[in-house]
Amino acid sequence: MDTVLALKLAVVPALIALVTFAGRRWGPGVAGWLSAFPVVAGPILWFIALEQGPAFAAQAAVGTLLAVLAILAFGLAYAWAATRYSWPLSLLLAYVGYATAVVVLGLWNATLLVAGIVVLAGLWLAPRLYPVLSMSAKPPSKPANDMLLRMGLGALLVLLVTHFAASLGPELSGVFAMFPVMGTVLAPFTHRGAGPAATIQLLRGMVLGFYSFSTFCAVLAWALPVTGIGQAFAWALAVAGTVQVLSRFWLSRHGMAITQRGR
């Protein structure tokens, strides 16, 4: 097994495990906030850059940035479906919302500037579109296979997207790097174990985290053509980490902590 393959099989599952532990310690809102950090798409873009080159990866990063809109469609579709349906149908409807957004995005060749403006507008609007439910007193369950499933899905996604990157092209590679791996596992398990209100809180928390994720993609797309791969990723992670910390600080200062139910 070569080094790159070993990293593909280890890095993303390990990062997913860390997010899972943090979510179990501090609740679904924190899990959503943390899971939106580029723990899956970041390593995928890194491997694409190593295997396909920085120019290819820069275009892929713009596609990944735009794909935030598809993840917002996934979350909103799941949240509204969860107010009426159980997790299997809610997940199916969320995939329909995601797929519809991907098809639309596939027809649009946006520049980095335009993509950034549109995604920021979507992130500002999305929290206002989520339903609000009262939290249940039912304690969340912690299924034994939860962790292994999350880690397995993350590793599978990395292998598939990086393997087919050349045939997909940079834009679609970037879009599918944002396949909702974390949402696919986090939302159904939260829905089943803690109810729809906790699931909506989780998904709304993800919206907050996507500010740092979007920053990561934008900085990466800008830096890759003008710096080395390592330096571009270092800048992107540093700026994204700063935005992640500031977003939590801002919400706390305004009495809108992500662990709360309200908008």
Ranges of the chain whose pLDDT falls below 70: 1-5, 7-8, 27-29, 31, 134-146, 165-166, 250-263
Q: Please return the burial class of 133, using the count of CB atoms within 10 Å of its CB with bins 0-12, 13-18 and 19+.
A: middle
Could you read off the pLDDT of 158-198 as tens digits, one per residue? 777 777 766 777 777 777 777 887 788 788 888 888 889 88
Q: pTM of the prediction?
A: 0.81
Taking each continuous run of H as one helix and of E as one strand, the counts in the chain are 12, 0
DSSP letters spanning 4-70: HHHHHHHHHHHHHHHHHHHHHHH-HHHHHHHHTSSSSHHHHHHHHHHHH-HHHHHHHHHHHHHHHHH
Could you read off the pLDDT of 39-72 as tens digits, one per residue? 778 888 888 888 889 998 998 899 899 999 999 9
Q: 77: which 2 tokens?
A: 């579709």
